[in-house]
Amino acid sequence: MVTLGLNIDHVATLRQARRDIVPNVLQAAFAGIQGGAEGITVHLREDRRHIQDADVRILKERIDVPLNLEMSIAPEIVRFASQIKPAKACLVPERRQELTTEGGLDVAGQKHKIRRVVSILKKAGIVVSLFIDPVEKQIRASAWVGAQFVELHTGTYARFRGRKQKKELNRLKEAALYAHALGLGVNAGHGLNLQNVGAVAKLPHVEELNIGHAIIAQAVFVGLKQATREMVMAIGRTKRKSV
């Protein structure tokens, strides 16, 4: 069964718009867990535009599902993660001017630097994944640096329609098969919603989908517990094809 990691960054985005204490990210995490999320994901950005250090600390202390910390390889963030020790960490690229993560991490282009970070996090007992585009050289590099998982970037798939989307889905499938053959676990995420998640959930060897924006947007109308439940149902209705 493919599991859902609920990203609650944009609950914090709304809170930070007023620098207030509501909406409360811990309350959001509890609602998502009640709706069926089997993990909570947050991205502690260097500019702290949404999730704050205190949010990560309280989530680590209070939730009873794995906390997945999306993070850059900046030394300050790596030190923080090593101290907090979330269950999982996903290394992602980060640019101050971007609205959201725009693509996968260039593992192949900075292998030695990333290998050091992966080693630090693993020594702290953290399971490490790398957010990458579905490209063979990035998958090979991910295995070389010692990551346990890759998270395949599904943003391009989510943007496309028709024939282009099918082509991108096949690229994701081949990437999942290749990663598995190299001994890597496979997750996926970015841009997924109720309409397009089913095909990704059917991909071979995918264990977890990390989804945030679409669920938080739907929660405006139906509440976070129900919005999470709808996504869990959309994932659960799919049947993975044999490979």
Buried b (16+ CB within 10 A) or exposed e, 110-142: eeeebbebbebbeebebbbbbbbbbbeebbbbb
Burial of residue 147 (CB within 10 Å: 0-12, 13-18, 19+) is: buried
Residue carrying structure tokens 């998982």: 149
- Phi, psi values for residue 211, rounded to 5°: -135, 135
180 annotated binding-site participant: no
- Taking alpha carbons only, the member of 56, 31, 28 closest to residue 42 is 56
Is 45 known as a binding-site position?
yes
Catalytic residue among 70, 94, 151, 230: 70
Residue type, 28: A
Catalytic residue selected from 94, 153, 168, 190 = 190
Tell me if residue 181 falls in helix, strand or coil. helix
- 237 a known binding residue? no
CA distance 39 to 67: 6
Q: Which residues of 55-89 are buried (b: 16+ CB within 10 A; e: fewer)?
A: bbeebeeebebbbbbbbbbeeebbebbbebebbbb
To the query of whether residue 190 is one of the catalytic residues in this protein, the response is: yes
- Asked if 112 is an active-site residue, the reply is no
Catalogue the active-site residues.
43, 70, 190
Annotated binding site for 3-amino-2-oxopropyl phosphate: 7, 18, 191, 212-213
